[in-house]
Every structure is written in structure tokens, then in C-alpha cells.
């Protein structure tokens, strides 16, 4: 998110697709010219053109009276089986999300949705849980779930497509196969090529059919931009305090007092899928936690999403160096930062090292590069000016 998509779209020609938006942003110097981004914009433009006013053929629509009534008249396009979505893969900070957002905001598709992939999977698990609670006959929840998703959006744009959870891996193949059968078109961004998804994880052999389905239905484009644009902005010196110790703790005390504007601090409780998540210190839309509060406990994406949507700022104490020895804590920290970043939560933290050096070597260090890049952007003035997304 080197440049907010709202800025890129400003003044761009209407009704002409992502390529015109990209070229206008370069011409108006909102973006630097980048050959790799230009290629991606051209590919997205091609898909944009094919999908104009796209709705799936009647045989793929949900076969109910309401579904037939709501379904708009299909246009004379190729059937869904001949339309491929796009899987945009590349290193962190290369503009993948920005390009996808240009496509999404200009897409002339009657039903479309843009969502972070982790949030989509959390929602999927909630829907499956609700289905099983209300249906005691043992029926398969996947077909009705696919019907519901396809009825809501025939174009799905997923940001940060990544599989880290065995529970996600086990349902994805059947769910996406059902979605593609219903004519759903997918555009996704990821730091991981399809063939590397869930690599090295237990049970990956059962996940391989999903990779095959993904490659069958999505064209893969590698974005080979040379620059990490998240690092191109000046940072603020008072949001990331190293090393750990009394000085850093005092700095966070002062930051918390300033951000809460002197209001009384009190515990609050957040509700997460029927259970309570206690927050010990909160005031004025700001919460304070230690690293152990959030990452040494068995918390998950739903907990971090609740925090990110409820609080516009988080003060985080005592982030340690991360290594393969504290892999679980590192994985939770990555998930936490993903949710804070996606909802534009402002972060002030104390840590054992700067983001680039938090996870310097060993298994997992490569995957942490995206998180380090996001942490660097979260220190910039531009990020702090963005509105909180609830």
C-alpha cells in the first residue's frame, strides 16, 4: 500500500479500466513508472474487458425462484469455463494490492467483493459452523456455502492469498471447485507461488488437488518489480522503540497517555465467535498489550480481527527477536500485524530490534519479510494519515 488507491483513482478517466488508471497515475506523478507494474496492469485490463457486465450462464446460477429473479441477464461473453482469473504473485511491497484495487474499483461487474484472504477464511469457518448448528441431518455444507458466496459476488478479489492453517487447507479444494463451477472469477495477490502454497506442512499431499484447481482456473503472473515501495517513504522516529528496556517502556507509557488523551484506562471485553477476549488496558479507542498477551497465548485470526476493528491504535510492549525456536509466537505475530495493517490500525511498539532484524535468519525468516515491510510502512507519516477501517 505504498500509495492509497483513492489517490491513484483521483482524476483518472471513468469507465476505461485499470490500465488507463495506472497510466494516468504515472502521468500525474502519483506513481513512478515501473515496467513490471505496467505489464500487470495490461493483464488486468484484458481480464477487465472480458468481464464487463459479466454474470454466469443460467445453468450455473442458483436454481431457486429468487435466484432466477435476482440474476441479471447474462451478456454475450465466453462461458465461465473459458474465463480465467488472475493470480498475481511477487515480493513484498511491489504494488500487487494497489494494482488489484485499480481492477476492482473499475470492474463493471454487478456483484463483486474485495476481501483479505484470512478474513474470507474466518468468515467461511463461521458459516460452516452456523450451517452445522442448524442442520442436523449430516448434509454437506460446501454446496450451499458456494451457492451463498456466488450469489453475493461473482467476482472475488483476494488480497494476501496464503495458506497456513490445516483447517483451511482441508476445505479449500472442494470449496473453490464449487465456486468455479458456479462461474465465480477470482483475482488474488500473494507472495507465494501456487506450487509453494502450504509447502512443508503436514497433510500437504491432500492439499495438492487444490493447487491443481487453482492453476486450472487462474492465470499466474509474476510481478518482478525491483523496488519495495513500502520503504520509499520517510519514517517517524517515535513509533518503534529499540532496544527493550526502561527507556523504551517510558516512551510507550508517554505514547499511550498521549493517544488516550488523558482519559481513564479500564479493561474491556471483546466477543469473538461466542467467547470473550479480555483487553486489560483500553481507553479512547486505544489498547495496550504486551507481546506475550497477544502472541504467547493460543489466539487466532478472529481475535486479531476483533482487536483491529475495535481499536484504531495499539501500543505493543516487548516484541522479542523471532527465531524458529518461537515459531508459534512468530506465526501469531505475523497474523496480528496482517490484521492491524489491513484495518489501518496505528501501531506504537517496543522491540528487541528494528523490523528488518526481528527475524533475521533461520526457517521462517523469508516469510517474515512481508511483515517487516508492512511494519516499516506502518511507521510512515502517510500510513498514520490513513483512516481506520472497521
Alpha carbons 331 and 375: distance in angstroms, whole number: 15
Alpha carbons 185 and 50: distance in angstroms, whole number: 11
> How far from chain centre, in Å, is Cα 44?
19
Let me know: does 75 contact 54? Beta carbons within 8 Å. Answer: yes
Domains, the chain:
5-223 (3.40.50.300), 233-384 (3.40.50)
In terms of Cα–Cα distance, which of 69, 62, 211 is closest to 149? 62
How far lies 93's CA from each of 71, 310, 335, 372, in Å?
A: 38, 26, 17, 10
Per residue of the chain (390 residues), what is the pLDDT tens digit? 445 565 666 666 677 899 999 998 888 888 888 899 999 999 999 999 999 988 775 444 444 433 333 343 344 444 444 578 999 998 877 888 889 999 999 999 989 999 988 889 888 988 988 888 887 677 889 999 999 999 999 999 999 898 877 778 888 889 999 999 999 999 999 988 999 888 877 778 888 888 999 999 999 999 886 565 555 444 555 899 999 999 999 999 999 998 888 788 999 999 887 889 999 999 989 999 999 999 999 998 889 999 999 999 999 999 999 999 998 999 999 999 999 998 999 999 999 999 999 998 888 888 898 899 899 989 988 888 888 888
Long-range contact set of residues 353-356: C-beta below 8 Å, sequence gap at least 24: 353/242, 353/243, 353/321, 354/240, 354/242, 355/240
SS3 85: strand
Strands, E assignment, the chain: 85-90, 112-116, 155-159, 185-190, 218-223, 240-241, 266-272, 275-283, 286-290, 313-319, 346-351
Alpha carbons 67 and 151: distance in angstroms, whole number: 8
In terms of Cα–Cα distance, which of 187, 188, 217, 173 is closest to 79? 217
Amino acid at each position: 500500500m505504498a500509495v492509497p488507491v483513492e489517490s491513484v483513482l483521483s482524476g483518472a478517466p471513468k469507465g476505461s479500466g485499470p490500465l488507463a488508471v495506472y497510466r494516468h497515475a504515472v502521468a500525474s506523478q502519483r506513481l513512478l513508472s515501473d515496467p513490471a507494474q505496467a505489464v500487470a496492469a495490461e493483464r488486468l485490463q484484458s481480464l477487465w474487458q472480458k468481464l464487463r457486465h459479466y454474470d454466469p450462464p443460467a445453468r450455473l446460477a442458483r436454481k431457486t425462484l429468487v435466484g432466477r429473479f435476482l440474476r441479471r441477464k447474462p451478456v454475450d461473453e465466453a462461458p465461465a469455463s473459458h474465463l480465467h482469473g488472475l493470480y498475481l504473485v511477487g515480493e513484498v511491497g511491489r504494488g500487487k494490492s494497489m494494482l488489484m484495487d485499480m481492477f476492482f474499483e473499475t470492474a463493471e461487474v454487478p456483484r463483486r467483493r474485495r476481501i483479505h484472504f484470512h478474513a474470507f477464511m474466518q468468515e467461511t469457518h463461521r458459516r460452516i459452523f452456523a450451517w452445522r448448528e442448524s442442520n442436523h441431518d449430516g448434509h454437506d455444507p460446501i454446496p450451499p456455502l458456494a451457492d451463498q458466496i456466488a450469489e453475493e459476488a461473482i467476482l472475488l478479489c483476494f488480497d494476501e492469498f496464503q495458506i497456513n492453517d490445516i483447517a483451511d487447507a482441508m476445505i479449500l479444494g472442494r470449496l473453490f471447485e464449487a465456486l468455479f463451477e458456479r462461474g465465480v472469477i477470482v483475482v488474488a495477490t500473494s507472495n507465494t507461488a501456487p506450487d509453494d502454497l502450504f509447502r512443508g506442512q503436514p497433510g500437504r499431499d491432500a492439499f495438492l488437488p487444490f493447487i491443481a484447481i487453482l492453476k486450472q482456473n487462474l492465470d499466474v503472473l509474476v510481478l518482478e518489480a525491483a523496488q519495495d515501495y513500502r520503504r520509499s517513504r520517510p519514517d517517524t522516529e517515535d513509533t518503534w522503540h529499540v532496544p527493550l528496556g526502561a527507556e523504551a517502556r517510558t516512551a510507550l507509557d508517554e505514547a499511550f497517555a498521549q493517544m488516550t488523551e488523558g482519559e481513564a484506562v479500564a479493561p474491556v471485553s471483546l466477543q469473538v465467535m461466542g467467547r470473550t477476549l479480555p483487553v486489560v488496558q483500553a481507553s479512547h479507542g486505544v489498547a495496550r498489550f504486551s507481546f506475550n498477551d497477544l502472541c504467547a497465548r493460543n489466539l487466532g485470526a478472529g481475535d486479531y480481527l476483533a482487536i483491529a476493528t475495535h481499536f484504531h491504535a495499539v501500543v505493543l510492549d516487548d516484541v522479542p527477536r523471532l527465531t524458529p525456536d518461537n515459531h508459534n509466537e512468530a506465526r501469531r505475530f505475523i497474523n496480528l500485524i496482517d490484521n492491524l495493517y489491513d484495518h489501518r490500525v496505528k501501531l506504537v511498539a517496543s522491540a528487541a530490534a528494528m523490523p528488518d532484524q526481528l527475524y533475521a535468519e533461520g526457517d521462517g525468516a523469508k516469510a517474515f519479510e512481508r511483515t517487516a515491510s508492512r511494519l516499516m510502512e506502518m511507521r510512515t507519516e502517510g500510513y498514520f494519515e490513513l483512516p481506520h477501517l472497521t
